[in-house]
């Protein structure tokens, strides 16, 4: 049994959601936007109660659903990020006359899924959380029903996602057959009680390695690491830019946390096996992401490949298997998410003629018309490259530091080289914005002071990276 | 060899054959029917294990509801058979490769893992009654209440997204409003027109 | 030896149920024609035997000897399996029906679920018959009927959920025993909306008037079994009437105390003690069969979209609300139904 006091944030979201679902059908077409305000309200209420949860952290004894400081920090982060994302989404949908309140309801479902993923201490709960998240993402992707790309992306993601879920279930069932439990704690007890030196070692390890492989394959798919990255470019390209914004940011945090948790609490004894898998995944992701991004002309596809490359870096951090590495990976994930929100959010505020931004060339001459926006976008691109003193620099620095600390010198050189290659396509965007002729069709939906403030805070955070470093260190040590 | 074992082997063979026919059969409707039959066989196998609730629910939900809708869709679609069969041959090599690897894996795994059954005994289940259904209900509503509720949330999400994606209002969409039909008055339908000529 | 004895014993049990059942089906058709005839100021069958009593026998002989015609380009295997798929579940369900306090073929724990699962299977017979016939009328009829069956199955399932909540058991015998104590103790009073919904859904589920759009003669000839003749048609016919009797007997068991006497715990109890439970069950069942025939003679056919609207938008919400209310009734132990 679990004490319902600890899941008040989830309950609040669910209550408001049920309320909005019923109420929305009574609103007239012009008043539908009230639903959006309810959704935002629920997000802020939810974050208030998450902060409130910090007061009674250690009283929780349930091993089904964990509300440690780690999960609370990330729930707060996810909720606030979602509030920002939905702000951009609302403005975008409103402008292009595609507003439907269901979009925001489904986004709230995704939020519940992510919260469950973050907190679950039980493989069944984890599976349900992942399914809740993926199902809402499938329907968000296919939301733009008039576009053939949108349907294609949704079908592709749906079929591949179903297969990945199948892999996850297969891995979970293997683990259940081997250990007789689905609780993280009990599984890890069972595994650590194995005598790895005897002949039993090979027998039991076979099953566990298979289970581990299946689960990691499925999570790598959800994360978008090469060679399971095929869906990312199409899905990013096909869906609305604000869906891409949602898709490429918060779910990545949730999946990252699951990977960290599963690797750290269930399979910590099997380091040699998962390190190999992660090594291959990360190297491939970095190469595929950085090299393929160079030839892209569509800005969403380019950012999709940059996502794959970034995920490679995150996995490199986890690969080291040290606290330093985990901390660096977490720092990198948070940085990546913060900056991606800003980049896609900014893109969603621009339009080309009467349609959203698609090609990189659509941005040409942005500097002449909107110098502040161009400057902000340049800052974001520079951060992705990793130019000091921006936050991206520290993120890459920590990853490389952790590689060196675990004496993976060649890997760190590889990472630096790949960063240099990757800087090409980020710099090209800056070149298009600053040195190409003005594209007269380019204009801005609305000047958002929230974007200015947000990027200003990000830059400020880059000047004091220790704040974020402390937080990630603190949460990792309270895993 | 007792009767239970005979039933087990009989339905296992049925299950395997019908599952293979699901893939091999080149008529999609037949595939769907074989899938129904394989669900039925697995329900029988569950019944043999003493899981009467799960087996009946499998029939009720999968056979009685899900597959009916599936059959509906398959029957309505005009599926090109030659296209399906061509794909079958095209991907046969890969399929056999995956099949061999997976089955080798499973054989290796099951031979090694479940030899020592002591490790796989689950002891912590609280048994409150000899009825399988009651025990399952008890566990679902106490220990796994959260998982149960989340499953309900997933279903709600499924309903909402399906309706959002398909319920597209078109201007040329014709439908009747029963309220208007019931509340219709004489004045709405009959107009008394004065005949100009008769003056 | 022992196992042979068990098999023989259960065979006799099965025959004891199935043979009378077939006879009842035959005479249900007779009584349907008679009753509707009288309601419409006609005589009904009069020629074969006294008062036309042998008419069903003549019908059976005619159907058995007729040729089975398989339409060209029909899927032969499925065409012939469809009536079997239709008939087998409707026969199987009878194995868990308690006909008296002592007689039930299989007294299983999950009886109610078993019934729900098996009745949900009969939709396959309809769909396959329509599809395998290779005829557009049959296909249209099967589509209509399948959509209708699915829609009403949900309301029906929820009505049964109400019963199982009240009884606290899935076993039919226990459901009957929990209604002990005379006519006011039966579940039709606290579960009145569920009873009505179950009754109406039962008619819709068996595709009978006024919900017989799947056979609507004026629109699609005879619906899903338009291409069937002879014994294959007889099987559909048999299944339909068996389902009709089944629904009636289930209503009597779930909401009207099954084989219990209505006069329990009243001053009349003593005088009616000698009547066996089976007779009470038969009286109740026959009443509901009569009700179904009555409805057929009285009501015009529903329009298709109205059927769907009734199922999804009216029945489903009502059942949900009533189950919610019933939860409160059980929690506050409303007498005399929810004392435990």
Q: What is the pLDDT of residues B35-70, one digit of tens each?
A: 988 998 998 898 888 788 888 888 888 888 888 888
Nearest to A168 by CA among A152, A156, A182, A180: A182
Provide the mean pLDDT of chain A: 86
Q: Quick check: bond before B137 cis, omega within 30?
A: no
Q: Residues C247, C191: one domain?
A: yes
The b/e string for B10-27 (b: 16+ C-beta within 10 A; e otherwise) is ebeebbeebbebbeebee
The b/e string for A239-275 (b: 16+ C-beta within 10 A; e otherwise) is bbbbbbbbbbbbbbbbbbbbbbbbbbebbeebeebbe
Q: Residues C245, C302: one domain?
A: yes
Encoded tokens for A263: 């690797």
Q: Residues C43, C103: one domain?
A: no
Report the residue of chain B nearest A63, measured CA to CA: B143
Average pLDDT over residues B169-181: 69
| pLDDT band per the 50, 70, 90 thresholds, residue A202 | low
Look at residue C133 and tell me if it is in a domain: no
Residue A54 has pLDDT above 80, yes or no: no
Q: Which residues contact B178 (CB under 8 A, 6 or more apart)?
A: C306, C309
Q: Residues C48, C163: one domain?
A: no
Q: Provide the domain limits for residue C289.
A: 96-107+150-217+228-331
Nearest to B160 by CA among A154, A29, A127, A101: A101
Q: How far apart are CA B140 and CA B125, in angstroms?
A: 11
Look at residue B111 and tell me if it is in a domain: no
Q: Which residues of C touch B131 (CB under 8 A)?
A: 109
Q: Which residues of C touch B56 (CB under 8 A)?
A: 110, 113-114, 116-117
Tell me how crowded residue A206 is: count the other CB atoms within 10 A of its CB.
Answer: 16
Q: What pLDDT sits at residue A131? A: 92
Q: What pLDDT sits at residue C217? A: 66
Optimal mutation site among C86, C121, C141, C168, interface B, most CBs of chain B within 10 A: C121
Percent of chain A having pLDDT more than 70? 95
Angle C22-C27-C31 from CA coordinates, rounded to 5°: 150
Q: Which residues of A touch B109 (CB under 8 A)?
A: 174, 206-207, 210
Contact assignment for B53 to C110 by CB distance below 8 Å:
yes
> What digits encode the pLDDT tens for the residues A57-105?
655 556 677 777 788 888 899 999 999 999 999 988 888 888 888 889 9
Contact assignment for B157 to A109 by CB distance below 8 Å:
yes
User: What end-to-end distance do the CA atoms of chain A give, in Å?
Assistant: 22
> Would you call B60 an interface residue with chain C, using a CB distance cutoff of 8 Å?
yes
| pLDDT band per the 50, 70, 90 thresholds, residue B1 | low
CATH number for the domain including B66? 1.20.120.1200
Q: What pLDDT sits at residue C1? A: 61
Q: What pLDDT sits at residue B16? A: 92
Residue C332 has pLDDT above 60, yes or no: yes
Q: What pLDDT sits at residue B104? A: 83
Residue A213 has pLDDT above 80, yes or no: yes
Nearest to A179 by CA among B120, B109, B113: B120
Look at residue C184 and tell me if it is in a domain: yes
Q: Residues C28, C103: one domain?
A: no
CA distance A474 to chain B (A): 28
Q: What is the full DSSP assignment across A98-155?
A: ---HHHHHHHHHHHHHHHHHHHB-BHHHHHHHHHHHHHHHHHHHTT-TT-HHHHHHHH
Q: Residues C57, C164: one domain?
A: no
Provide the mean pLDDT of chain C: 83
Residue A129 has pLDDT above 90, yes or no: yes
Q: Residues B3, B72: one domain?
A: yes
Q: Residues C38, C102: one domain?
A: no
Q: Residues C181, C296: one domain?
A: yes
What are the residues facing A356 on neighbouring strands? A351
Q: What pLDDT sits at residue C163? A: 87
Q: What are phi and psi of A411, to 5 degrees?
A: -60, -40
> Would you call A8 an interface residue with chain B, using a CB distance cutoff of 8 Å?
no
List the subunits that have 3+ CB pairs under 8 angstroms with A.
Answer: B
Q: Residues C56, C162: one domain?
A: no
Average pLDDT over residues A312-336: 90
Look at residue B72 and tell me if it is in a domain: yes
What is the total count of domains within chain C?
A: 2
Q: How far apart are CA C58 and CA C66, in angstroms?
A: 12
Whether A421 and A377 have beta carbons less than 8 Å apart is answered as: no
What is the total count of domains within chain B?
A: 2
Look at residue B181 and tell me if it is in a domain: no
Look at residue B188 and tell me if it is in a domain: no
Strands A442-444 and A355-356: unpaired
Q: Residues B3, B75: one domain?
A: yes
Q: Which of B3, B30, B56 sits opposite C110 (nearest CB)?
A: B56
Residue B89 has pLDDT above 80, yes or no: no
Tell me how crowded residue B90 is: count the other CB atoms within 10 A of its CB.
Answer: 10
CA distance B60 to chain C (A): 4
List the subunits that have 3+ CB pairs under 8 angstroms with C.
Answer: B
Give the residue, C267 or A319, on which the prediction is more confident. A319
- The complex scores an ipTM of 0.89
Q: What pLDDT sits at residue B168? A: 67
Q: What pLDDT sits at residue A165? A: 93
- The CA dihedral of C99, C104, C109, C111, to the nearest 10 degrees, is -50
Whether B27 and B74 have beta carbons less than 8 Å apart is answered as: no
CA distances from C262 to A6, C160, C179, C255, C280 (A): 52, 22, 10, 12, 8
Residue C309 DSSP class: H
Look at residue B179 and tell me if it is in a domain: no
Report the residue of chain B nearest C125, measured CA to CA: B68
Q: Provide the domain limits for residue B130.
A: 126-165
Q: Residues B5, B65: one domain?
A: yes
Q: What pLDDT sits at residue C303? A: 79
Count B/C contacts: CB-CB distance under 8 Å.
Answer: 64
């Amino acid at each position: 049994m679990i004490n319902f006091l600890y899941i008040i944030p989830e309950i609040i979201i669910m209550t408001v959601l049920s309320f909005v679902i019923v109420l929305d059908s009574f609103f007239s077409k012009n008043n539908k936007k009230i639903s959006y305000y309810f959704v935002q309200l629920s997000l802020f209420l939810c974050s208030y109660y998450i902060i409130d949860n910090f007061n009674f952290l250690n009283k929780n004894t349930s091993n089904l659903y964990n509300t440690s400081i780690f999960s609370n920090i990330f729930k707060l982060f996810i909720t606030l990020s979602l509030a920002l994302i939905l702000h951009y989404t609302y403005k975008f949908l409103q402008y292009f006359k595609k507003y439907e309140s269901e979009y925001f309801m489904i986004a709230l479902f995704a939020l519940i899924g992510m919260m469950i993923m973050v907190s679950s201490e039980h493989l069944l709960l984890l599976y349900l959380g992942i399914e809740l998240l993926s199902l809402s993402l499938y329907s968000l992707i296919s939301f733009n029903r008039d576009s053939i790309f949108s349907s294609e992306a949704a079908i592709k993601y749906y079929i591949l996602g179903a297969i990945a879920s199948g892999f996850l279930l297969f891995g979970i069932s293997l683990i259940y057959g081997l250990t007789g439990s689905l609780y993280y704690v009990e599984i890890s007890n069972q595994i650590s009680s194995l005598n790895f030196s005897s002949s039993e070692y090979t027998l039991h390890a076979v099953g566990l390695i298979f289970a581990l492989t299946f689960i990691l394959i499925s999570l790598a798919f959800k994360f978008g690491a090469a060679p399971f990255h095929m869906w990312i470019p199409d899905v990013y390209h096909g869906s609305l830019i604000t869906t891409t914004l949602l898709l490429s940011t918060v779910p990545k945090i949730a999946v990252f946390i699951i990977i960290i948790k599963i690797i750290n609490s269930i399979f910590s004894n099997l380091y040699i096996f998962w390190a190999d898998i992660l090594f291959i995944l990360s190297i491939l992701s970095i190469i595929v992401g950085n090299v393929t991004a160079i030839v892209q002309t569509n800005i969403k596809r380019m950012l999709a490949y940059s996502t794959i490359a970034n995920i490679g870096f995150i996995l490199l951090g986890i690969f080291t298997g040290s606290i330093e590495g985990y901390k660096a990976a977490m720092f990198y994930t948070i940085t990546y998410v913060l900056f991606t929100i800003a980049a896609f959010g900014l893109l969603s505020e621009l339009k080309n003629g009467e349609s959203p931004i698609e090609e990189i060339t659509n941005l040409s001459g942005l500097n002449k018309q909107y110098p502040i926006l161009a400057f902000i976008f340049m800052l974001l691109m520079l951060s992705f490259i990793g130019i000091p003193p921006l936050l991206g620099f520290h993120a890459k620095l920590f990853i490389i530091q952790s590689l060196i600390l675990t004496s993976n010198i060649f890997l760190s050189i590889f990472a630096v080289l790949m960063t240099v290659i990757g800087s090409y396509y980020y710099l090209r965007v800056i070149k298009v914005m600053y040195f190409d002729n003005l594209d007269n069709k380019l204009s801005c939906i609305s000047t958002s002071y929230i974007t200015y403030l947000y990027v200003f805070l990000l830059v400020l955070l880059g000047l004091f990276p220790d704040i974020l470093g402390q937080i990630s260190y603190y949460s990792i040590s309270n895993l | 060899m007792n009767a239970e074992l005979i039933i087990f082997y009989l339905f296992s063979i049925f299950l395997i054959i019908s599952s293979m026919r699901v893939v091999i059969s080149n008529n999609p409707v037949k595939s769907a029917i074989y899938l129904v039959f394989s669900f039925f066989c697995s329900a029988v196998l569950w019944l043999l294990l003493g899981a009467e609730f799960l087996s009946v629910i499998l029939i009720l939900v999968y056979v009685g509801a899900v597959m009916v809708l599936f059959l509906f869709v398959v029957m309505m679609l005009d599926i090109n058979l030659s296209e399906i069969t061509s794909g079958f041959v095209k991907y046969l090599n890969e399929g056999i490769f995956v099949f061999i690897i997976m089955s080798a894996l499973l054989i290796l795994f099951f031979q090694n893992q479940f030899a020592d059954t002591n490790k796989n005994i689950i002891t912590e289940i609280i048994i409150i009654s000899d009825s399988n259904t009651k025990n399952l209900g008890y566990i679902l509503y106490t220990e796994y209440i959260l998982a149960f509720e989340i499953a309900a949330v997933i279903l709600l999400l499924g309903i909402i997204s399906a309706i959002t994606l398909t319920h597209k209002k078109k201007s040329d969409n014709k439908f009747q409003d029963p309220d208007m039909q019931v509340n219709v008055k004489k004045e709405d339908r009959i107009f008394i027109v004065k005949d100009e000529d008769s003056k | 030896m022992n196992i042979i004895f068990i098999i023989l014993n259960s065979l006799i049990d099965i025959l004891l149920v199935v043979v009378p059942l077939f006879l009842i089906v035959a005479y249900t058709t007779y009584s349907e024609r008679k009753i509707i005839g009288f309601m419409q100021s006609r005589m009904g069958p009069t020629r074969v035997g006294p008062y036309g009593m042998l008419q069903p026998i003549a019908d059976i002989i005619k159907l058995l000897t007729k040729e089975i015609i398989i339409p060209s380009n029909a899927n032969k295997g499925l065409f012939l399996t469809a009536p079997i798929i239709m008939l087998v579940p409707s026969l199987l369900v009878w194995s868990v029906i308690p006909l008296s306090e002592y007689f039930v073929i299989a007294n299983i724990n999950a009886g109610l679920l078993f019934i729900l699962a098996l009745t949900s299977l009969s939709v396959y017979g309809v769909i396959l018959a329509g599809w395998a016939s290779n005829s557009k009328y049959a296909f249209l009829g099967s589509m209509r009927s399948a959509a209708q069956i699915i829609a009403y199955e949900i309301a029906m399932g929820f009505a049964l959920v109400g019963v199982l909540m009240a009884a606290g058991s899935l076993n039919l015998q226990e459901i009957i025993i929990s209604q002990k104590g005379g006519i006011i103790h039966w579940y039709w009073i606290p579960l009145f909306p569920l009873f009505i919904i179950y009754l109406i859904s039962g008619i819709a589920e068996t595709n009978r008037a006024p919900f017989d759009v799947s056979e609507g003669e004026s629109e699609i000839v005879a619906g899903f079994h338009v291409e069937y003749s002879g014994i294959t048609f007889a099987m559909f016919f048999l299944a339909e009437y068996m389902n009709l009797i089944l629904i009636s007997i289930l209503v009597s068991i779930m909401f009207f105390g099954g084989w219990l006497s209505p006069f329990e715990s009243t001053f009349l109890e003593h005088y009616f003690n000698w009547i066996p439970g089976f007779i009470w069950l038969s009286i109740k069942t026959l009443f509901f069969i009569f009700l179904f025939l009555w409805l057929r003679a009285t009501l015009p056919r529903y329009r298709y979209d109205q059927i769907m609207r009734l199922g999804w938008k009216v029945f489903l919400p009502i059942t949900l609300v009533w189950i919610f209310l019933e939860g409160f009734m059980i929690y506050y132990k409303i007498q005399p139904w929810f004392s435990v």
